[in-house]
Structure 1
Amino acid sequence: MAHKSQAGGIEKNGSLSSVLYCKSDLKEGSLQWMKEPLNGQVLMVLSMDNNCSATSFDMELCAEKLKSLGVQVAADQWRRLIQDAVLKPEVRRYMFYNSRAFQIAIAVVFYMSLWTNIYSTVQLCSFGRYWEASVLVTLAAVAVTVVVILVIDHRQRKINMNTDVRLAAVNEIFIKHSLILGITDALDGPHNILQLWFVHFSPEHCLQSLSAHIMDLQRTRESGLRQSLDQLCVVMEAVVQPNPGTEEEASREESPLLSSRVNLNKEPVTCNELLRLVPEGPPEVMAQQLLVIFSGCYVRLLVTGRLPRAMAGGHLEHSSVPCLCQFIQTTVLNTRQSWFMGR
């Protein structure tokens, strides 16, 4: 069965796995073989059917292709990280409920419900029995549905803490080998296909540029920098560890007066903690953390064509989209630079 992905020129076999080497850009039919890939080039794509819980990415094929690309990483390490990041059942369910197929279904149900409610309300008025009223109701329902779809699409352009950030641990390993990963979904008839993208990216230039930019922000507007970075946080559930003396005293107070043979297992006491993804530190460390965290989001927007156009000065050769450090400076650090056009 042949399947063409959003990047074009990708074939899918029976196991829904596909590989693409050294793609020069994101236009179909522009496959080129090169000794040294450029930043932003797709090197490999793995696909799987998210509708079937028994399917998974072809890790054996992935390990072979990574070895052929010269990436020497322990397979057990990145396999476990990918499994924890995107292959857990709860994560796959979340990605299905945020997929394009589910959003289309929600849009259709929303339109029908909205049309029915508006039409029923209009029928109570004197002019509701004319055919013009039906046309107005249809136009109003379409307009509201389009606005909802645009709002959802705008949210899809932002970082997703439940998918993009989960790939940070994998990207922390692969970015050392000039690779960053991102995940997208696509429609193949009734099937929702998850695609794991491997993109070539050398972080040296972006790391230097972003470090210098953070150092400049620390000197000029440190409060604004901290406010921007404070938004990058996740809520973690931690187990409360009581002091031994307090626990022993509480156990004596809570012990029953009458002996009982029933031993009830008490659930551990937990609390929510706010974990900052980019803590205070040297500019180089903060820049490295930002590159790792936003790699998944950057790849997702890159391969789906949702990145804005950029002028010269980036670190993507022969490309009109911003590099990773430009993307972070504009979307995260709130510094509106001139390289973004039409904004």
Structure 2
Amino acid sequence: MAYKSQAGGIEKNGSLSSIFYCKSDLKEGSLQWAKDPPNGQVLMVLSMDNNCSASSFDMELCAEKLKSLGVQQVAADEWRRLIQEAILKPEVRRYMFYNSRAFQIAIAVIFYMSLWTNIYSTVQLCSFGRYWEASVLVTLAAVAITVVVILVLDRRQRKINMNTDVRLAAVNEFFIKHSLILGITDVLDGPHSILQLWFVHFSPERCLQSLSAHLEELRQTRESGLRHSLDQLCVVMEAAVQPEPAVEEASCEESPLLSNGVNFKKEPMMCNQLLRLIPEGPPEVMAQQLLVIFSGCYVRLLVSGRLPPTTAAGHVEPSSVPCLCQFIQSAALSTQQCCLPGR
């Protein structure tokens, strides 16, 4: 499958599209922005087939468009390396495939069939299991339970994901300096699972000021609650345990004269450690870290239309969509959070 993109317009293939809000300067032969896009405006979408391990994002096209955005060519190696380490590693792509919509639909069908078979075989052991009404009740029960499972999975997809959203933190830390934030989604195109990397325009200045002021207010009013909320934003990391040095060396008389030639390599002992994503510091530093960490999740929910509506005006257009700082205040600065499993 090929997915093409052209400057100055939108070219669609199925349900996918690549969007660029720019115009061509015929005199200079370059691309220039017609106007400064508003916050939350999608500027570019890169697509790739996740079913094919050899496919990848079109980095050359991406570099050309980023250059027109003001991201200098000298930084191309840096952002390419960040994207490669964040989402293009084989283990990360496998995780995204197993969490894609195509795989979830397949699991839902298998779960329904297995559940229906087990309930039906159990009902047959009862006296009323021979009537046709029992089959209808079994079908309704299997459908209801499957729908509940699908809704639970969909609700889980609305939360921040360590293996995708937080992995983009290093990428967003680089691009947010150029008023860009990135997020990744997957769409189902027939039997293919398509990964889409979204580039969204977002100037962080106003959100940074608003979030810093909110953190300062929380410090003065309920510091313990703030610390509790931020402590929930943590990842579980595996770390090697350093062995303690030997107290006494073996004496020369007890050591063997000849080596047996066998070299046993002991694997290092591993232990789990909690790593806080938001360390203690000035409100501006903490706000900057929150913006970077939640940018990937925000973009994913923004482009998929899953952001909760808001009545208060934010820093994006339209005003019914919450801006990044409003999303962080409702999603992170509360007590209903959980630790994110490391990977």
TM-score normalised over the length of structure 2: 0.86
1:261 deviates by 1.3
Superimposed CA distance per residue, residues 226-285 of structure 1 (whole angstroms, 9 cap, x where no aligned partner): 111111111222233446xx25747889x9746211222333343322110000000000
Question: Which structure 2 residues correspond to residues 159-170 of structure 1 after superposition, within 5 A?
Answer: 159-170=160-171
Aligned-partner SS, 2:19 = coil
Aligned-partner SS, 2:259 = coil
Question: Which structure 2 residues correspond to residues 288-307 of structure 1 after superposition, within 5 A?
Answer: 288-307=288-307
Structure 2: tracts of 5 or more residues without a match: 23-32, 337-343
Structure 1: tracts of 5 or more residues without a match: 24-32, 337-343
1:126 deviates by 1.4
Q: Tell whether the 8 Å contact from 1:18 to 1:44 is kept in structure 2 after alignment.
A: no
Q: Tell whether the 8 Å contact from 2:49 to 2:193 is kept in structure 1 after alignment.
A: yes
Range with greater deviation from structure 2 (278-287 or 311-320): 311-320
Aligned residue number for residue 157 of structure 2: 156
Identity of aligned residues (%): 80
Tell me: CA distance 1:272–1:156, structure 2 relative to 1, closer, same or farther (3 Å). Answer: same
Aligned residue number for residue 140 of structure 2: 139
Matched, 1:222 2:214: no
Aligned residue number for residue 187 of structure 1: 188
Q: Tell whether the 8 Å contact from 2:229 to 2:335 is kept in structure 1 after alignment.
A: no
Aligned-partner SS, 1:38 = coil
**2: distance between equivalents of 1:41 and 1:189?**
28
**1: distance between equivalents of 2:295 and 2:251?**
52
**1: distance between equivalents of 2:230 and 2:200?**
26
Aligned-partner SS, 1:74 = helix
**2: distance between equivalents of 1:236 and 1:37?**
39
Q: Tell whether the 8 Å contact from 2:48 to 2:194 is kept in structure 1 after alignment.
A: yes
1:92 deviates by 0.5
**1: distance between equivalents of 2:212 and 2:102?**
40
Q: Aligned-pair RMSD on alpha carbons?
A: 2.7
One-letter identity of the residue aligned with 1:330 = S
**2: distance between equivalents of 1:331 and 1:117?**
39
**2: distance between equivalents of 1:261 and 1:3?**
58
Tell me: CA distance 1:168–1:251, structure 2 relative to 1, closer, same or farther (3 Å). Answer: farther
**2: distance between equivalents of 1:250 and 1:232?**
45
Aligned residue number for residue 260 of structure 1: 260
Superimposed CA distance per residue, residues 24-46 of structure 1 (whole angstroms, 9 cap, x where no aligned partner): xxxxxxxxx84111100000111
Matched, 1:271 2:271: yes
Tell me: CA distance 1:268–1:283, structure 2 relative to 1, closer, same or farther (3 Å). Answer: same
Aligned residue number for residue 67 of structure 1: 67
**2: distance between equivalents of 1:138 and 1:251?**
73
Aligned-partner SS, 1:153 = helix
Q: Tell whether the 8 Å contact from 1:182 to 1:298 is kept in structure 2 after alignment.
A: yes
**2: distance between equivalents of 1:64 and 1:251?**
65
**2: distance between equivalents of 1:319 and 1:178?**
19
**1: distance between equivalents of 2:209 and 2:114?**
53
Aligned residue number for residue 100 of structure 1: 101
Tell me: CA distance 1:10–1:209, structure 2 relative to 1, closer, same or farther (3 Å). Answer: farther
1:9 deviates by 5.0
Q: Tell whether the 8 Å contact from 1:22 to 1:41 is kept in structure 2 after alignment.
A: no
Question: Which structure 2 residues correspond to residues 1-343 of structure 1 after superposition, within 5 A?
Answer: 10-11=11-12, 19-22=18-21, 34-72=34-72, 74-242=75-243, 246-247=245-246, 249=248, 257=256, 259-334=259-334
Q: Tell whether the 8 Å contact from 1:186 to 1:192 is kept in structure 2 after alignment.
A: yes
**1: distance between equivalents of 2:271 and 2:335?**
36
TM-score normalised over the length of structure 1: 0.86
One-letter identity of the residue aligned with 1:298 = Y
Q: Tell whether the 8 Å contact from 1:2 to 1:11 is kept in structure 2 after alignment.
A: no
Tell me: CA distance 1:3–1:66, structure 2 relative to 1, closer, same or farther (3 Å). Answer: closer
**2: distance between equivalents of 1:248 and 1:10?**
70
1:314 deviates by 0.4
Tell me: CA distance 1:335–1:262, structure 2 relative to 1, closer, same or farther (3 Å). Answer: closer
Range with greater deviation from structure 2 (95-104 or 304-313): 304-313
